[in-house]
Chains A and B, each alone.
Chain A
Amino acid sequence: MPIQIVESSLAPSQAVLDQVCAAGEPWMGRVAKGQVLRITDLEGNQAVDALFYNAADPSERYSLTHTIQARGALYLGMGTQIMSSEGRPLLTIVADTCGRHDTLGGACACESNTVRYALEKRYMHSCRDNFLTAIARDAASLTPSGLTKRDIVSNINFFMNVPVTPQGKLSFEDGISAPGKYVEMRAEMDVVVLVSNCPQLNNPCNAYNPTPVRFLVWDA
């Protein structure tokens, strides 16, 4: 779908949650059906790796293949239904001033960093480390029976630009986001949100400079 920029009419002063997530940190929270979650790219071109779970039954979780099938296209943007593994919408993107988000690039990890960059780079901080920290710390209180590695599936990368050519080439390009850009989504069911504010330094997904992002939630 061609890029579509749509601003929100919601005022941050009305939000029931307003938190800044520092660079390279995880974030985990619950968003109730009807509430709206906004993620703001405060300093521009930050990759925000995000997973969503049905809060009542996290075996139903974000599915990139269901999302791509529902949209008939690879990229996420205004109007995208963020689909679950059961073929139901978890959230709907209702405002987007960035225009395009990725769901093929996945999350960085120590192990994939050894393949992509160098064996010696195993010890750099990564998104998968963030996901594991968050689920060890917070999943028991946010979900019926916690989460494990089996529940860490391939995620959305908000604000990230990973174009695919008609010849099937794929690359991590300089981002199209900018300071203050945001993406806003309405929860279609009670969801648990698991985010890694990506710490990757080896490719341009964060413009080589991981920066903070802001989470806002409004009531329905």
Chain B
Amino acid sequence: MQSFDTITPLARAAVPDASTRFAPELVLWEDAIPGGAHWSGRVNRGTTLRFTDTHGAANLSALFFNFELMSERYNMPDTVKAQHTAFLTRGHALYSDMGRVLCSIPEDSCGWHDTVCGLLDATRSQAKYGEARYQEHRNAMHRNGRDGMLIELGKWGLGKRDLIANVNFFSKAVADEDGVLRFDAAHRQPGQYVDLRFEMDALVVLSAAQHPLDPTPTYDPKPVQVTAWRSGTAGADDVCRHSCAENGRGFINTERWFL
């Protein structure tokens, strides 16, 4: 069975010996996404996005696409079944539907990021929080995850057919033995952060709208700090590469795309 030890010397030479730890001098740019707002952009291979929940109650909905071929996209089932996990944290890889790692999580102070609950949409937002239009509320108008994602997808020529099961960073929903889901806010703390290291050039689509199961009774989405820093890709010693044999193979698939 092929592994990192049996791929060719040329393939192995393309992988850094070690992964890079964060340092302030590696920062490329920083931005704060206001609560409820949406963003999308190109994030290149070797860049890490550090998301920080500054207030301790944020939700960041996210989707990822291979920038070179956007029909290749984040695939939740391939991600959860390869790693035998229903949530994401340090050591996990976010897989595309083509067996490649779009990004991975080498650092996470939060411990659980949801990837099964989907997006808050206009219908559910209206039912939970009522209506707040631009006319009366200007930029404090109510925003929801689905509409925010569709706006950003549209900017790249994508649309409803590309809206698939997303990640919800900083949110935790626990299933009991009957599969009934309960939002768990106990883990939330101001300052929690998660690093997403990009192993491929990616289109990243984000919405900081509330989680669909957020029990907060009011419309109150929180901001997320985004810090882009130059990390390089996963080293030969990397925690995500080694967290399971499956990921070892996933990284080989990914690195092969760039050989």
Q: Which residues of A contact B (CB under 8 A)?
A: 1-2, 59-60, 63-66, 68-69, 72-75, 85, 87, 104-107, 109-112, 114-116, 118-120, 148-151, 153-154, 162, 164-166, 168-172
Cross-chain contact B181 with A73 (CB below 8 angstroms): yes
Question: In whole angstroms, what is the CA distance A39 to B85 when docked?
Answer: 29
Known A73-B179, A115-B78, A150-B161; 16 more pairs at CB < 8 Å: A64-B118, A68-B118, A68-B181, A69-B118, A74-B116, A104-B77, A104-B116, A107-B77, A111-B253, A115-B82, A115-B99, A154-B164, A164-B86, A164-B179, A166-B174, A166-B177
Looking at the assembled complex, report how far the CB atom of A29 sits from the nearest CB atom of chain B, in whole angstroms: 21
Cross-chain contact A115 with B95 (CB below 8 angstroms): yes
The reply on B98 being an interface residue by CB < 8 A is: yes
Question: In whole angstroms, what is the CA distance A150 to B124 when docked?
Answer: 26
The reply on B252 being an interface residue by CB < 8 A is: yes
Cross-chain contact B85 with A85 (CB below 8 angstroms): no
Question: In whole angstroms, what is the CA distance A66 to B119 when docked?
Answer: 8
Looking at the assembled complex, report how far the CB atom of A24 sits from the nearest CB atom of chain B, in whole angstroms: 19
Q: If the complex has contacts A65-B119, A104-B76, are A166 and B176 also in contact, measured as CB distance less than 8 A?
A: yes
The reply on B250 being an interface residue by CB < 8 A is: yes
Q: Which of B99, B161, B246 contacts A111 (CB 8 A)?
A: B99
Cross-chain contact A87 with B85 (CB below 8 angstroms): no
The reply on B151 being an interface residue by CB < 8 A is: no
Chain A residues near B160 (CB-CB < 8 A): 59-60, 85
Question: In whole angstroms, what is the CA distance A112 to B166 when docked?
Answer: 18
Query: 28 A-B residue contacts at CB 8 Å?
Result: A60-B160, A65-B166, A68-B116, A69-B118, A69-B212, A73-B178, A73-B180, A74-B116, A74-B179, A87-B121, A106-B76, A107-B77, A109-B97, A111-B78, A112-B95, A112-B97, A114-B99, A115-B246, A115-B247, A116-B81, A154-B164, A154-B165, A164-B175, A166-B175, A166-B176, A169-B84, A169-B85, A170-B84
In residues 1-26 of chain B, which contact A (Cβ within 8 Å)? Answer: 1-2
Cross-chain contact A74 with B1 (CB below 8 angstroms): no
Find the A residue at minimum CB distance from B77. Answer: A106
Question: In whole angstroms, what is the CA distance A2 to B177 when docked?
Answer: 9
Q: If the complex has contacts A119-B252, A170-B84, are A72 and B98 also in contact, measured as CB distance less than 8 A?
A: no
Find the A residue at minimum CB distance from B124. Answer: A69
Q: Which of B112, B117, B121, B176 contacts A168 (CB 8 A)?
A: B112
Question: In whole angstroms, what is the CA distance A115 to B77 when docked?
Answer: 13
